[in-house]
Amino acid sequence: MPRPRSIAFTFALALSLGLAAALAAGGCSKNKTTNPMTTTTTTETFNSGTLSTAGQTFTHTFNTAGTFGYYCSFHGTPTTGMRGTVVVDASSSNTSGAVSVGPGATTTFSPASVTIKPGSTVTWTLSSGSHTVTR
């Protein structure tokens, strides 16, 4: 007859293997329509490097729906200063967006927010100064 420790170990091993199998199968929900497993992704990352010549452009294609903040690493942070937003929404009819960087010798993006549908491209064009477009 096995010792009680062996039974406890066997039970713990079976429990952990069962949990691992459930996670590998996508969660513990029996009905994925009423209890779906959801994840949030922020895979859209980019960095233009320094834009320093008027008319210089930077382009990025957004494939994932969501709201993506960006900023100039010289004049802002993700939460303050020179920053903007790209909203990627499947219901949008816009297949491209255009943003002016530093218009009128300012430290702004204009417009501050653009909305496009997934798979669309935004082009930032430097108006003046030295700036970055960073996420």
pLDDT of the residue at 42: 56
pLDDT > 90 fraction of the chain, expressed in percent and rounded:
67
Q: Are residues 66 and 118 in the same domain?
A: yes
| pLDDT confidence tier of residue 44, bands split at 50, 70 and 90 | confident
Mean pLDDT score across all residues of the chain: 80
Note whether residue 96 is domain-resident.
yes
Q: Are residues 67 and 110 in the same domain?
A: yes
- What are the backbone dihedrals phi and psi of residue 17, each rounded to the nearest 5 degrees, phi first? -65, -40
C-alpha neighbours within 13 Å on the C-beta side of residue 124: 33
Q: What's the whole-model pTM score?
A: 0.69
Structural domain span for residue 96:
57-126
Alpha carbons 135 and 130: distance in angstroms, whole number: 17
